[in-house]
Structure 1
Amino acid sequence: MPASVIVDALWGDSGKGKACAYLSRKHDAALAVRAGIGTNAGASVTLESGELIKARQLPTGWLNPGTRVAVGSGVLVDPRIFASELDRFGIADRAMVDLRCAVITEDHIAAEQGDDHLLERVGSTCTGNGHARADFILRRARQARDLPELEPYLADVAAEANRIAATDDQLVIIESSQGTMLSLALSDDYPYTTSGNCTTAAALNDVGLNWRHLTDVIMVVKAMPTRVGHGPLPYELSAAEVERRGIAEYGVNTGRLRRKAAALDHDLLRYAAMLNGPTQIALTFGDHLDPRLRGARTTAAIGPEVRTVIAEVEASTGAPVTLLDTGPRLADMIELG
């Protein structure tokens, strides 16, 4: 089991962080690597104790004590957020950042927060990622190896990921960010996109992992999709209806109310599957679809509505649903198949 990629089918906020933590524990993964743009998106996991873990820079695989974590070279690093997560999670002894990562500065953040196009039209999080990425492309950004405070954590993450993935008994998990339909060059929703692609291929590239090591693509599909910021959202519910149903969600990074859809758009889901090539599907937020499922951990709890959605998702993606998320806690998961 050399390497698995966790990727979002639609617009993000689907529970990739929970899937990464769950699979890291299940398989005692040797390494979890963060792919994606940078700190413009967050992940959250609720532990059995009720403690809520929020992260923006490092993958949540560290919730397995034996898993090392890293930031891939294609990911932007904000040294302040990186340092904060090392301290909050107590993982300085098993965290790495690729020496080639471009760095987000205070100037990048200030430039985005003063950019009306990004703030008002696009609905960006304005966390400096777009401007830092632009500077990297123009070859004027600083890199992680240029900052003394990052020196203890510098590594060639691509070399380490490929070394581990070349073994037969250790697993590398790559946690992507955001969602396929936010991809800069693949979404029809431009300019309501992020500043790069969010697909399986993009995640491999962000980490520098040889595609021959890839054995599984776990595509996360949110049963009732959400979207933050502007851009189309098929089957969108009103904010009042979302509140009435008790299924309101708020962004990890921004705290903004997530727009929420009543159902999946299967044309988009088929397109996402074409782009990502999933071998497995993790269907998340099943309890928002059927509140009776909340917290369930056995297949006996799955009702007809959710079973119908599982069958529809499998038909649209051509991949089996192997994980069903049933609630906020890390162990609120049903394994299928």
Structure 2
Amino acid sequence: MPASVIVDALWGDSGKGKTCAYLARKHDAQLAVRAGIGTNAGASVTLESGELIKARQLPTGWLNPGTKVAVGSGVLVDPRVFADELERYGLGDRAMIDPRCAVISEQHIADEQADQHLRKQVGSTCTGNGYARADFALRRAQQARDIPELAPYLGDVAAEANRVAADPDGLVLIESSQGTMLSLALSEDYPYTTSGNCTTASALNDVGLNWRHLDEVIMIVKALPTRVGEGPLPYEISTAEAERRGIAEYGVVTGRPRRKAEAIDADTLRYAAMLNGPTRIALTFCDHLDPAIRGQRGSAAIGPEVRRVIGEVEQATGAPVTLLDTGPRLDDVIDLEG
């Protein structure tokens, strides 16, 4: 398996980080690379010990001891967030940043927090990513190679990813961010989008990976979709209803309540599959659909409601569901591939 892309079908917050960590451990991946916009989206993984891992800059593949982690050149870097994750998780000897990454400055963050359009109309996280991306497009942003404290971690991530992927025994996991339906140039919901695209093709571009090395596209589908910020959400339920059912969620970056839907919109899912070309599906947050499956790790626990959704997702995407996420812990997974 030379290279696999992990991409979100809908509006994000679906468990891409957990999936990346699970696959890195299962296959002892050599390299995990972060694609996507930057630090405006986070991943959280709960270990068997109960420890909660949160990350915004680095991919969670480092939870496998033998996996190195990197940030692709198309991803924005916040040196403060990067340094914090290195220190918290002891990743100084396993992390690489591409020197061509644009840098989020403190001024970018301040400008976004003062931008009423982004804060109130769009519902942005206001973490400086949009302003930094705009400055990069205008060729006036700093790059990682301009920041002295990043110098020990700089390396050509595109070259490394292609080198590992060219090895028949190697595996590169590319962890995308946010979700396909938040894509700047592909969503119907503009301006309620992020500042770039969040598809398979954009993830390859963020990393600089030759498409010929791509072996798998693992598309994450959240059993009960969520959305943070403004924009339409089909089949949305109220926050009170989500709390009553015990399925309320809160954002990793902002702590804001995630708006919750009670079903997957089939037309939206078909469109996401058309854009991403999934070879297989990970169906996540199955315990929000059926509480009885929570924490289960064997296929005998799959009940009729989850089986119904599996069938609907496979019909809409044309790809098999091979992973079921059943709870918050890293190993709360039913792996239908074994």
TM-score, length of structure 2 as denominator length: 0.99
CA shift at 1:26, angstroms? Answer: 0.2
Measure the CA separation in 1 of the matches of 2:63 and 2:157. 20
CA shift at 1:277, angstroms? Answer: 0.1
Measure the CA separation in 2 of the matches of 1:201 and 1:125. 24
Give the match for residue 209 of structure 1: 209
Give the match for residue 78 of structure 1: 78
Measure the CA separation in 1 of the matches of 2:131 and 2:67. 32
Secondary structure of 2:142's aligned partner:
coil
The reply to whether residue 4 of structure 1 matches residue 4 of structure 2 is: yes
Give the match for residue 268 of structure 1: 268
Q: Which runs of 5+ in 2 are unaligned?
A: none
CA shift at 1:40, angstroms? Answer: 0.3
Measure the CA separation in 2 of the matches of 1:148 and 1:227. 37
Measure the CA separation in 2 of the matches of 1:240 and 1:133. 36
The reply to whether residue 221 of structure 1 matches residue 221 of structure 2 is: yes
Q: Output the amino acid matched with 1:302.
A: I
Q: Output the amino acid matched with 2:51.
A: E
Secondary structure of 2:237's aligned partner:
coil
Give the match for residue 127 of structure 1: 127
Give the match for residue 96 of structure 2: 96
Show CA shifts across 1:138-163 (max 9, x none).
00000000011000000000000000
Show CA shifts across 1:263-291 (max 9, x none).
00000000000000000100000000000
Secondary structure of 2:77's aligned partner:
coil
Measure the CA separation in 1 of the matches of 2:239 and 2:148. 46
Q: Output the amino acid matched with 1:165.
A: A
Give the match for residue 69 of structure 1: 69
Secondary structure of 2:93's aligned partner:
helix
Q: Output the amino acid matched with 1:164.
A: V
Measure the CA separation in 2 of the matches of 1:296 and 1:164. 34
Q: Which runs of 5+ in 1 are unaligned?
A: none
Give the match for residue 190 of structure 1: 190
Measure the CA separation in 1 of the matches of 2:303 and 2:80. 45
| Counterpart mapping for 1:236-247 below 5 A | 236-247=236-247
Give the match for residue 258 of structure 2: 258
Give the match for residue 41 of structure 2: 41
TM-score, length of structure 1 as denominator length: 1.00
Q: Output the amino acid matched with 1:305.
A: E
Give the match for residue 180 of structure 1: 180
Q: Output the amino acid matched with 1:281.
A: I
Give the match for residue 232 of structure 1: 232
Measure the CA separation in 2 of the matches of 1:243 and 1:100. 44
Give the match for residue 308 of structure 1: 308
Secondary structure of 1:58's aligned partner:
coil
CA shift at 1:80, angstroms? Answer: 0.3
Measure the CA separation in 1 of the matches of 2:80 and 2:106. 10
Q: Output the amino acid matched with 1:70.
A: A
Secondary structure of 1:155's aligned partner:
coil
Q: Output the amino acid matched with 1:163.
A: R
CA shift at 1:180, angstroms? Answer: 0.1
Give the match for residue 170 of structure 2: 170
Show CA shifts across 1:151-189 (max 9, x none).
000000000000010000010000000000000000000
Show CA shifts across 1:94-129 (max 9, x none).
100000000000000000000000000000000000
Q: Output the amino acid matched with 1:10.
A: L
Q: Output the amino acid matched with 1:162.
A: N
Measure the CA separation in 1 of the matches of 2:271 and 2:24. 28
Q: Output the amino acid matched with 2:249.
A: E
Give the match for residue 14 of structure 2: 14
Q: Output the amino acid matched with 1:255.
A: G
Give the match for residue 144 of structure 1: 144
Over 4 Å off, 4+ runs: none
Measure the CA separation in 2 of the matches of 1:169 and 1:162. 13
Measure the CA separation in 2 of the matches of 1:189 and 1:44. 26
CA shift at 1:336, angstroms? Answer: 1.2
Give the match for residue 32 of structure 1: 32
Q: Output the amino acid matched with 1:299.
A: S
Secondary structure of 1:218's aligned partner:
strand
CA shift at 1:335, angstroms? Answer: 0.9
Q: Percent identity?
A: 82
